């Protein structure tokens, strides 16, 4: 998979492509991307995605809190796993938003060699979303590309969407989020130095830096798995502000205690997979009470992870 940032970098050739934000690359996205890639390769064409960063919502309406389910790099990697050959991440600007549907698809036809445009049933592009499916089909007849429309992917009759995944994470419902994503929700980051309090409690933890713009699950304690350099380790993790201890700035931390592991992971990149919500974060009256609860959390996490797929 080739990840590029400009139409001028687009590899020459016949192209089947799709356009969209694709935040999360969830099961609905995966169905479209896999079908597109398969059809393109059968036709001897390259498969491509034109996507954006920042998200159009961030530019046109502003965001008051972390929003993204995936970073641009993670999103491109997941698209490659679906068989996509080229991912173009365009900087989304108001100038880009002002392009008409005709202007945008003309660019795709001329710069990317678009031969077939694959879209969802409710797709629209261009200024004021004027380029809906019927409009694109008319433009395709005029400019020389086909439009292929796919139905939505639904779970229990509810269409899968990035918005529903964000709502599930807000409730700490990482099980529903994983079902819609087709994989556990994941945060990737480097292991950084903390205040070493876990070691003083004889429950060492790793502190994981995270992208400030990524949506975090609800504050609380989770059963998790941690990937690091080919290893997959069971863990119990906490997201929150650690209310039992002084935290005047209200800094949000992501910490994980790795079960049955000892070693130095500082500066290593890890991927934390959320498997199940165990309990909300809360303040304890004493350190002893906190330690007792953490021991219960560890046992609970072991039981959950033993039975998790």
Tens-place pLDDT, residues 168-185: 999 999 999 999 999 999
170 has catalytic annotation: no
Q: What is the percent of the chain where pLDDT is above 90?
A: 77
Q: 0.85 cut: is pTM over it?
A: yes
Same-domain pairing of 11 and 135: yes
Same-domain pairing of 6 and 153: yes
The answer to the question of residue 274 being in a domain is yes
Domain final residue, candidates 131, 159, 187? 159
The DSSP bridge partners found for residue 148 are 118
The answer to the question of residue 165 being in a domain is no
The answer to the question of residue 110 being in a domain is yes
Closest CA to 207 of 252, 261, 170, 260: 252
Domain final residue, candidates 159, 186, 221? 159
Same-domain pairing of 50 and 143: yes
Same-domain pairing of 260 and 154: no
Same-domain pairing of 137 and 193: no
Same-domain pairing of 19 and 134: yes
Catalytic residue (choose from 142, 255, 281, 288): 255
Same-domain pairing of 120 and 185: no
The answer to the question of residue 164 being in a domain is no
Give the ranges where 149-196 is alpha helix by DSSP (H).
162-170, 174-181
The answer to the question of residue 204 being in a domain is yes
Same-domain pairing of 132 and 212: no
User: Can you spell out the DSSP letters for 117-133?
Assistant: EEEETT-EESGGG-EEH
What pLDDT does 260 receive? 87
Give the integer Cα–Cα distance in Å for 152 and 164: 14
Give the integer Cα–Cα distance in Å for 134 and 266: 54
What is the domain range of residue 77?
Answer: 2-159
Beta carbons of 109 and 143 less than 8 angstroms apart:
yes
Same-domain pairing of 154 and 194: no
Domain count, the chain: 2
The answer to the question of residue 168 being in a domain is no
What pLDDT does 196 receive? 59
The answer to the question of residue 21 being in a domain is yes
The segments of the chain whose pLDDT lies below 50 read none
Same-domain pairing of 195 and 299: yes
Domain final residue, candidates 125, 159, 193? 159
Q: In the chain, at which residue ranges do the beta strands (DSSP E only) sit? A: 2-4, 15-19, 46-53, 86-91, 114-120, 124-125, 131-132, 146-150, 154-155, 158-159, 185-192, 206-208, 220-228, 231-240, 253-258, 269-280
* Tokens describing residue 211: 């992208």
Same-domain pairing of 109 and 202: no
The answer to the question of residue 38 being in a domain is yes
Give the integer Cα–Cα distance in Å for 68 and 65: 10
Same-domain pairing of 42 and 94: yes
Q: How many CB atoms lie within 10 A of CB 192?
A: 11
207: domain CATH number is: 2.40.30.30
40: domain CATH number is: 3.40.50.620
Beta carbons of 302 and 259 less than 8 angstroms apart:
yes
Beta carbons of 305 and 225 less than 8 angstroms apart:
yes
């Amino acid at each position: 998979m080739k990840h590029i940032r400009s139409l001028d970098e687009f590899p020459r050739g016949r192209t089947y492509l799709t356009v969209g934000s694709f935040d999360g690359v969830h099961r609905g996205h995966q169905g479209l991307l896999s079908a597109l890639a398969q059809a393109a390769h059968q036709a001897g064409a390259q498969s491509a995605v034109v996507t954006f960063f920042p998200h159009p919502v961030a530019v046109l309406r502003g965001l008051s809190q972390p929003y993204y389910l995936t970073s641009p790099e993670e999103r491109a990697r997941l698209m490659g796993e679906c068989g996509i050959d080229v991912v173009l991440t365009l900087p989304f600007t108001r100038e880009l938003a002002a392009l008409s549907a005709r202007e945008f698809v003309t660019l795709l036809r001329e710069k990317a060699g678009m031969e077939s445009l694959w879209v969802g049933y409710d797709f629209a592009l261009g200024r004021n979303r004027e380029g809906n499916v019927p409009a694109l089909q008319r433009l395709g007849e005029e400019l020389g590309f086909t439009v292929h429309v796919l139905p939505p992917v639904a779970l229990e009759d509810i269409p899968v969407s990035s918005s529903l995944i964000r709502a599930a994470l807000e409730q700490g419902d990482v099980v529903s989020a994983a079902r819609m994503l087709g994989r556990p929700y994941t945060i990737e980051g480097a292991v950084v130095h903390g205040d070493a309090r876990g070691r003083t409690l004889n429950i060492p933890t790793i502190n994981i830096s995270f992208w400030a713009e990524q949506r975090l699950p609800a504050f609380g304690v989770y059963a998790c798995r941690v990937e690091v350099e080919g290893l997959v380790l069971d863990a119990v993790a906490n997201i929150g502000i650690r209310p039992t201890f002084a935290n005047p700035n209200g800094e949000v931390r992501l910490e994980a205690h790795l079960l049955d592991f000892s070693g130095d992971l500082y500066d290593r990149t890890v991927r934390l997979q959320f498997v199940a919500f165990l309990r909300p974060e809360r303040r304890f009256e004493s350190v002893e009470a906190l330690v007792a609860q953490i021991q219960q959390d560890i046992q609970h996490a072991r039981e959950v992870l033993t039975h998790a797929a």
